[in-house]
Amino acid sequence: MNEPQVLIKDFSVSYRTKSGILQAVGNVTLEIGYHESLGIVGESGCGKSTLGVSMLRLLPPNATCKGSILFKGDDLLSLHPDQMRKLRGSEISMIFQDPMTSLNPIMRIRDHFFELFRVHNPGMQKGEMIEIAKEALHSVGVDPSRLDNYPFEFSGGMRQRVMIAISIALKPALLVADEPTTSLDVVVQEQIMQLLKKLKSERNMSIMLITHDMGIVAELAEKVAVMYAGRLVEYAPVRQLYTEPLHPYTRLLLRSIPNIKLDDMDLKYIPGSLPDLKNPPQGCRFYPRCPFSRGVCKDREPPDIRLDDNRRVKCWLYGDG
């Protein structure tokens, strides 16, 4: 297929707050191919979570969007809410960071599944629902007989698996995973990452992995998009991003992460701190912290420079756009 499954074009999100307008995401253009895994990396305030949540149109009422998100050709932003509801859970699913609070504590696991099925397939028989639920639990490594358990009866890692099971039960084409392992221990994290890899290949699913952890991105993602202060600053296939990072932020970030495989870690660090999104700098948002900056960086935001089909960077160092 030449057309990507997801095409995000010039997408922006702004929040109306008591103290002014905050642009969380600015002019982001991205694609996700069918069966592809895209990693979206960035730190707090970079807009990655907002982007993820936008994929399911679950933004809060004070948010305004511009641009388009095409999913299999349809613009998600212009769909009727009922049509969007049909997509959520069955075509596009999302798993969240905190498995402790994402499941309803007073509902049994099977009821979580039933609720999902009732929305998408009101005529489904109970027997069929149980079959699908059991199959989903089995594929994530949870004992299917635990359908009757309550969320509190599971540990953190197991709860996350259950949440994944519910999200993939109806075999969605796209799974958005927002920091799925951040609150988990490293061993459990590894188990969940392996599970995601397995599910992706078994179910031909594409994954949008949102995280700040450059380690798990290297493990799972095929392509990586780096975000900073609401902007998409670099986009590349995963190998190239790590071996030849282009954007100064990406380069510094990679050099500032401790790596247990290296013996002599000469850790660099990025001076300064993240910009205030309510009062962003005029030019490039990374300018105040960038060791390679030039005059133009202060005044004007760099354009998206396309170096290749799969290679984009938003930086004056690489041309004029």
Residues that bind other proteins (CB under 8 A): 18, 43-44, 61, 155, 157-158, 185-187, 189-191, 193-194, 212-219, 238-239, 242-243, 252-254, 256-261, 263, 265, 267-271, 273-274
Between 4 and 157, CB nearer to other proteins: 157
**E strands along the chain, which residues?**
6-17, 20-32, 37-41, 63-71, 74-75, 92-95, 174-178, 206-211, 223-228, 231-237, 305-308, 311-313
Q: State the minimum distance, in angstroms, from the CB of residue 153 to other proteins.
A: 12
CB of 45 to other proteins, least distance (A): 8
Nearer to other proteins, 85 or 212 (CB): 212
Task: Write down the H helix ranges in 107-185.
Answer: 109-120, 126-139, 156-168
Question: Which residue lies nearer to other proteins by CB, 91 or 141?
Answer: 141
C-alpha span between 314 and 290 (Å, rounded): 13
Tokens of 84: 């969007």
Least distance from other proteins to the Cβ atom of residue 209, Å: 12
Which residue lies nearer to other proteins by CB, 70 or 218? 218
Shortest separation between residue 242's beta carbon and other proteins, angstroms: 6
Categorise residue 315: left if φ over 0, alpha if ψ from -120 to 50, beta otherwise: beta
Q: CB of 231: closest distance to other proteins in angstroms? A: 15
Residue type, 25: V
Task: Give the containing element (helix H, strand E) for 196.
Answer: helix 186-203
Q: How far is the CB of 10 from other proteins (least distance, A)?
A: 27
What tokens were used for 267? Answer: 């850790």
Residue 189's SS3 state is helix
Q: Which is nearer to other proteins, 129 or 241 (CB)?
A: 241
| C-beta closer to other proteins: residue 130 or 254 | 254
